[in-house]
Copies of this chain bind each other. A is one copy, B any other.
Amino acid sequence: MNFALGIDVGGTKISYALIDNNGIIKDNVVKVLTPKTSNEIENILKDIILKFQDCIEFVAIATAGTVNNSNDKVIGSTANLPVGYKEINFTELSDKKVFVENDANCAAWAEYKIGASVNCKNSIMLTLGTGVGGGIIIDGKLLKGKSGGAGEMHFSMSRNKKRQCTCGAWDCFESYASGNGLKLTAIDIVGYENITTYDIIEGANNGDKNFKNAVEIWQNDIALGILGLANLFDPDCFVLSGSMGKFVDVGKIEKFVNSYVLTSPTKIYHAKAGNYSGMIGAVLLGNELI
């Protein structure tokens, strides 16, 4: 069996593991805190790779941020990572080949290869966490666009400038469908700010009317966004992942979307590839592209 080293670089943690051709993790996943400077990140990546150098075919890195079309450089959207991260030349980290791709794209690929969207050549993964990430697969290929940044889930849900999004624009899908969006929706309803998404989900489960209402509006917003994406992409399915994904009633959303969709009925699934889908997807995608 051949192995690659899968690494996931996030704003908080760097995780890594040996992963085989089938996307199976060997032994444990190791986690370290993401250092504060890009130099330190570069050095830690070199150290990690050096440890595994002799038993791997290549290195596959799933990273926060936009990755270019030659899969060797981060070119944008790295709010959680230090200035200078974009300067790292990933190919120089090792004598082995180093493959880099955006973490949400990698996770979408893992779902397509071993998770919820297996055999769905046209699929869209939405990672619902603090924000919303996205990975779009068209005809069995990852949608990257002209520079590599495609799949940003920042399309407007309102013409009235209600919520400014983290991206600077107003009322993006992310600012309603994310965990933070749910929080803002709940704050609008209850009139005070000191709530967590945990409070809201727990409260709704325990029958709190306001929190139930917030969760319903949040799901309606997710459904509205998915309907638009279904009309644009005509995908076989959507996969919902991320810390908030599991709280979505996929059956209800599927029913709503398919009652309005102009293209043809689609499916909505919960993610299945697990917490390490980023690094697993990086290895599986690297396997095909390098």
Contacts and interface: CB of A to CB of B under 8 A. Distances in A.
A275 to B, nearest CB: 26
A155 B122 contact: no
B155 A227 contact: yes
Given A158-B158, A169-B227, A263 B233 contact: no
A176 B160 CA distance: 13
Given A76-B262, A146-B122, A158 B155 contact: no
A235 interface: yes
B233 A150 contact: yes
Interface stretch (A13-21, A28-36, A104-112, A137-145): A137-145
A262 to B, nearest CB: 5
B263 A152 contact: yes
A134 to B, nearest CB: 8
Interface string A141-179: 101111111111111111110000001110010001000
A149 B228 contact: no
Contacts of A263: 66, 76, 145, 147, 149-150, 152
Contact of A155 (B141, B151, B159, B229): B229
Contacts of A121: 146
Nearest to A145: B234
Contacts of A232: 136, 150-153, 155, 229, 232
A156 to B, nearest CB: 5
Interface of A is mostly: loop
Interface string A173-202: 000100000000000000000000000000
A176 B156 contact: no
A120 to B, nearest CB: 8
A54 to B, nearest CB: 37
A231 B154 contact: yes
Interface string A106-129: 000000000000000110000000
Contacts of A227: 154-156, 169
A167 B141 CA distance: 30
Interface in A62-91: 66, 75-77
16 contacts: A76-B263, A145-B263, A146-B234, A146-B235, A146-B264, A150-B234, A152-B234, A154-B227, A154-B228, A154-B231, A155-B225, A155-B228, A155-B229, A156-B227, A157-B158, A157-B159
Interface of A: 66, 75-77, 121-122, 136, 138-139, 141, 143-160, 167-169, 172, 176, 220-221, 224-225, 227-229, 231-236, 260, 262-264
